[in-house]
Structure 1
């Protein structure tokens, strides 16, 4: 199966062909994959070089002229390094852009901690008005990218973050860029799997009497879906996110503010893992493999003390 990032260049190239408002800005990373699109649209495919602050600034400038910019690089260079520009050039100026990341939390372990960004969604949570998509399959990535850019629809020029990953579920689901999906229904708790965590969550909860929700759009948070699920099951909620553990616990608590409930946030731990290893080894070290998830989810739902990875 190809990766989400493999789908990015062909998908955005088609959007460049469809809509003269669409522009793409990169900072060297991923530029070669857009050579064909650059040849057709030299004024709308821009490589600023290894200048991440300029990357965001150029995208914001294009947005202020009425363009719909798609800005792409690794997550650590797209959200963390130029965060001041994200905050001011886009947020303060109310300029809409689509930020599309790669490498996710630890997709390229050999790159070291400079190329990891498990805190990207939590960081964007400090700003107002962002939509955040976390696809779990390459097909979903294409769907959500198109939903974010919306070629031909200038009324939808908001601030959107699309988080691509090499981790993926085996099967795509019909995502709509808004709602959580009910994948399995049960009575003894709710487990919310975000993006590429779904396969591991389904394996971890096999045989357990729990509802499994699937989220690929996490901001805005679909409070109605979580409330509905909690009303039809014990209001014990486990969030399994592919980024910093606990990123969405506040959103879940707000959704259930008037309902007695408990929330457990599972995800990437704060402790830095200083050995490169493999993606699979990082998943296991953070307790996000199916076996570890089953132990931690089961202990929480049983009211016991949950082991904390890392």
Structure 2
């Protein structure tokens, strides 16, 4: 199966052909995927070299000129290193664009900590007005990339990863999807965490929501899944576990806000803050952060207790 990033070049190359507003800005990384597109559209495929602040600034400048820029590099070089430019050149100037990252939290362990970015979504959360897509399969990535480019002049972040679920699901760029229903609590699986969450909760009396668009946060879906209107009358506690492929707790505030008027508990599972200096392989990082199937089941059942049992 191809990866999400394998889809990125062909999809954007087609969008360059279809829409004269679309422009792609690169910082060497991923440039090989746009060789033909750059030949066809030399004014709309721009490689600034290894200059990440310039990468973001150029994208914002194209937006000021009326184009729809798609800016791409590894997450650590797209969100963390040029964060001031993201904040000012896009946010302060009031222009939109699409940031498309690769490498996710630890997709390339051999690259070391400089190429890992588990804090990217949390960092963008400090800014106003960003839509955040976290696809869990290459098919979903293609759909969400098209959503992002077509989203008027909005500010959109698309987080690509080599981690993937076995199959893609229909996604609409807005709502959470219910993939399993139960009465003992709600688990929100974000992007590539879905397969592990489904395996970890097999046989448990839990609702599983699948989130590929996490900002804006689908408060309505969570309230519906937890029966919040009933809980407000009966005093029942709504239990929620959020499993994210990036910094643990990134979405717990959003979940708490969604349930502010009812008794509730929220547990955030994700990538820990400690740096793992023996870089190993992706699966070893997943296990070390407690995101493998066995660890997830232990942590979810430990939090929810007897309510989760059928």
TM-score range, shorter chain: over 0.9
For the residue of structure 2 that corresponds to 1:207, the secondary structure is coil
Q: What's 1:249 paired with?
A: 252
Instruction: Note the C-alpha offset of 1:157.
Output: 1.1
Give the TM-score of the pair, scaled to structure 1: 0.95
Q: 1:258 & 1:290 partners in 2: Cα distance?
A: 32
Long gaps (5+) in structure 1: 305-310
Q: Which residue of 2 aligns with 1:307?
A: none
Please point out which of 177, 198, 204 is paired with 1:202: 198
Structure-2 residue corresponding to 1:235: 238
- What is the alpha-carbon distance in structure 2 between the residues aligned to residue 157 and residue 207 of structure 1? 44
Please give the secondary structure, in 2, of the residue aligned with 1:34. Answer: helix
Write the deviation string for residues 181-229 of structure 1: whole angstroms up to 9, x where unpaired: 0000000000000000000000000000000000000000000000000
In structure 2, C-alpha distance between the alignment counterparts of 1:92 and 1:177, rounded to whole Å: 25
Q: Supply the distance in 2 between the matched residues of 1:75 and 1:287 (Cα, whole angstroms).
A: 22
Structure 1 residue 95, shift from structure 2 partner = 1.0
Q: Secondary structure at the match of 2:268?
A: strand
Distance apart, 1:74 and its partner CA: 0.1
- Distance, in Å, in 2 between the alignment partners of 1:254 and 1:224 is 11
- 2:299 is the counterpart of 1:296: yes
Q: Which moved further from structure 2: 226-235 or 82-91?
A: 226-235
Whole-Å Cα distance in 2 between the matches of residues 94 and 256 of structure 1? 31
Structure 1 counterpart SS, 2:35? helix
State the distance in 2 between where 1:50 and 1:95 align: 24
Superposition pairs of residues 1-310 of structure 1, within 5 angstroms: 1-150=1-150, 156-231=152-227, 235-302=238-305
Give 3-state SS (helix, strand or coil) of 1:240's partner: strand
Counterparts of 2:39 and 2:149 in 1: how far apart (Å)?
A: 21
User: Paired residues, what number?
Assistant: 300
Segments of 5+ residues of structure 2 without an aligned counterpart are 232-236
Cα deviation for residue 276 of structure 1 reads 1.2
Q: Which moved more, 1:56-65 or 1:295-304?
A: 295-304
| Whole-Å separation in 1 of the counterparts to 2:96 and 2:204 | 43
Q: For residues 139 and 259 of structure 1, what CA distance do their matches in structure 2 show?
A: 37
**How much has 1:303 moved relative to structure 2?**
7.5
1:210-263 Cα offsets, whole Å, 9 max, x none, are 000000000000000000001079610000000000000000000000010100
CA distance in 2 between partners of 1:229 and 1:71 (Å): 36
d(CA) in 2 for partners of 1:148, 1:96: 10
> What CA RMSD, in Å, does the superposition of the two structures yield over aligned residues?
1.2
Deviations 1:251-306 (A, max 9, x none): 000000001010000000000000110000000000000110000000000179xx
SS of aligned partner of 1:25 = strand
Question: How far, CA to CA, are the matches of 2:306 and 2:284 in structure 1?
Answer: 29
Residues in 1 aligned to 2:39 and 2:306: alpha-carbon distance in whole angstroms:
60
TM-score by length of 2: 0.95
